[in-house]
Amino acid sequence: MIAWNCKYTPVELLGALGGQPLFLNSGAEDFGYAESVAHSSICCHVQAFLQHCRDKKLREAALVNCCDSMRSAYGILKNSGDLDFIFLLDLPHKVGGCSQNILKKELVRLAEEYGKYKNTTFDAVKFRAAFPVASKPLPRENFIAVAGGRVSDSLLAEISARLPLPVADLTCAGTRSLGAPPQGINDFDALMDWYAGELLALTPCMRMRDVSTRRALYNLPGLSGIVYNTVKFCDYYAFEYDSLRKGTKLPLLKIEADYLPVTGGQLSTRLGAFAEHAAFARQAAGKKKSGSGSYVAADCQKSGQRAEKQARPGVDARGDAGVLKIRRGDVGGRNDVSRSLSTRGSGYVAGIDSGSTTTNMVVLTADGSYLGGVTVRTGPRAAVGAAKAFAAVKEKLGVDRAQIDYLVATGYGRNAVPDADQAVTEITCHARGARYINGEVSTVIDIGGQDSKVIGLADDGSVRTFVMNDKCAAGTGRFLELMATTLEMDVAEMSIVGLDWQKDLTISSVCTVFAESEVVSLIADNRTAADIVHGLNKAVALKTAALAGRAAGVPAYMITGGVARNAGVVQELEKKLGQKLIIPAEPELCGALGAALMALDNFK
């Protein structure tokens, strides 16, 4: 089977060359693979396409350079080694002039390359037979259009099931209607010329230069309302939506599809309200059972307000800083940083890790022995957190600042720690600390309050590579903390409650805003806290495993940071990685320990 997804794909030609075209337009269970080979902020449909190509083990694909995400996907698939045949059709943006000839030559190129691959030649009879006798008719009675960017099959079914009128798919992928090849033309060249003209005459998608004929879509007889879809991280249709919302008098509902499966509560509410308040309300059918869909509801013509909440880089959509309340001892210590504890020396060196949530400090004696470590809340300023850490060290270890001969600061607040002798990133420090704790470690997974990172270590313990999470709080300790608040439990409880799950729920998004909506829907659906937390743990594990994939992580894995104490996340992550994780006894101190070791190097 040869995968395709754009309506401009010459599927009839593929069929005439012996191919079995497969329209790939369904949502994916997750984007684990897609994120590891592309980026989480490219078109979600394209991410689903990449995911399906891998999951379904497809060997052939015919793509169109319809958008930037698709152009990138071509490079990724071509170089993945997964496909035996891949083709990128260069579709002109213009219709008229030489563009038909340009497209015709592309069709000829495809026929040559695919024919050679399939060891077939063009069959005009098969080509003609591939064209439908008649295109799919629009409903004869009043209907509602799903318009804008493509929708997955399941989302279309969900919308159809929840609206009282017949639904027509007028999205970019749903308006493919070609005429039959004219009789009397059998010459391949002439047929391709006709075919190019026919493809260019399709109702244009927003990628084309002239989109004026799209207006006809919204003036069809019987059209009673529009559900307008935009695909997450595809910008094309937001522009049309904006002009449509200003120009149409029809009831209009905007949704946003992310091509992931989610529960239908939110969509049900939106479509229900749309049906109740729109002009076609009296035709509404009875209550219908919820199903699955892939969407994020956004705004509605009625209110005219933008209601979508998207995570954006640098905006974490979170509240004030707080403390991760993780119960210690749940996961047990498998290694102990105090292994080299011995007598105190005359002077000390220290490392201080100033994080967004906690500040951690480790003190070593001048001869390299481990004296101890402390963890305090950072509070409103990094300098305040550092002062608290010094006070705690004085109280717990009897060492004051004046006795510390060399101090290395790390973490987000590293440049704000007063009098530090050196500032080093937590990447370098975590690597150093982890390898010191366990000499076998090759990959460090650190999930802190604000970010998560995966660090690959070279044989000598230096940083080979590292990756960090997106700019939002997705998959971090902060994410879990916010979800705990939504579930009205503390983080310590949350870390174990998910272990007792009964029903395997999937929470698709680790965007704090989207996930919170999902959790609220699940609560309303009477799901148990254990099942919901388990779903959240899986989501965090998926995100983290994707990071590990990007870093080409290899065993042995060590997990550090506060989330290492979350047994539920650890368990799911171990499942995802297929490996046991090494958990230090004091996972929060790993970065500070690395900093202290660097201080020791410099002091010497």
* Residue numbers 470-489 binding other proteins by CB under 8 A: 470-471
Query: Scanning residues 239 to 268, which ones bind other proteins (CB under 8 A)?
Result: 239, 241-243, 245
Q: Label residue 370 exposed, middle or buried (CB < 10 Å: 0-12, 13-18, 19+).
A: buried
Residue at token pair 């509410």:
269
d(CA 10, CA 110): 9
d(CA 228, CA 256): 8
Q: Interface with other proteins includes 466 (CB under 8 A)?
A: yes
Stretch that binds other proteins, among 174-182, 204-212, 281-289, 562-570 (CB under 8 A): 204-212
**Residue 383 or residue 496: which is nearer to other proteins going by CB?**
383
Return the number of other C-beta atoms located less than 10 Å from residue 216's C-beta.
9
Instruction: Give the one residue of 124, 201, 284, 468 binding other proteins; rule: CB under 8 A.
Output: 468
Q: How many helices (H) and strands (E) does the chain have?
A: 18, 19
- If phi over 0 gives left and psi between -120 and 50 gives alpha, with beta otherwise, what is residue 329? left
d(CA 326, CA 312): 28
Q: Label residue 183 exposed, middle or buried (CB < 10 Å: 0-12, 13-18, 19+).
A: exposed
* DSSP state string for 19-85: --EEE-----S--HHHHHHS-TTS-HHHHHHHHHHHHTT--EEEEE--SHHHHHHHHHHHHHS--SE
Instruction: Give the one residue of 171, 294, 375, 428 binding other proteins; rule: CB under 8 A.
Output: 428
**Residue 92 or residue 568: which is nearer to other proteins going by CB?**
92
Stretch that binds other proteins, among 5-13, 101-109, 364-372, 579-587 (CB under 8 A): 101-109
| Per-residue x/- track, 284-323, other proteins (CB under 8 A) | ----------------------x---x-xxxx--------
Q: Interface with other proteins includes 412 (CB under 8 A)?
A: yes
Q: Interface with other proteins includes 423 (CB under 8 A)?
A: yes
Say if CB 408 and CB 596 are below 8 A apart.
yes
Q: Interface with other proteins includes 426 (CB under 8 A)?
A: yes
Q: How far is the CB of 231 from other proteins (least distance, A)?
A: 10
Query: Scanning residues 35 to 64, which ones bind other proteins (CB under 8 A)?
Result: 36-39, 41-43, 46
Q: Interface with other proteins includes 207 (CB under 8 A)?
A: yes
**Residue 211 or residue 523: which is nearer to other proteins going by CB?**
211
Q: Interface with other proteins includes 193 (CB under 8 A)?
A: no
**Residue 16 or residue 73: which is nearer to other proteins going by CB?**
73
Q: Interface with other proteins includes 84 (CB under 8 A)?
A: no
d(CA 355, CA 416): 11
- If phi over 0 gives left and psi between -120 and 50 gives alpha, with beta otherwise, what is residue 566? beta
Q: Interface with other proteins includes 128 (CB under 8 A)?
A: no
For residue 144, the one-letter residue type is I
Query: Scanning residues 322 to 381, which ones bind other proteins (CB under 8 A)?
Result: none
Q: Interface with other proteins includes 421 (CB under 8 A)?
A: yes
**Residue 380 or residue 398: which is nearer to other proteins going by CB?**
380
Per-residue buried b or exposed e for 462-498, using 16+ beta carbons within 10 Å of the residue's own CB? ebbebbebbebbbbbbbbbbbbbebbebbbbbbbbbb
Q: How far is the CB of 129 from other proteins (least distance, A)?
A: 31
**Residue 371 or residue 546: which is nearer to other proteins going by CB?**
546
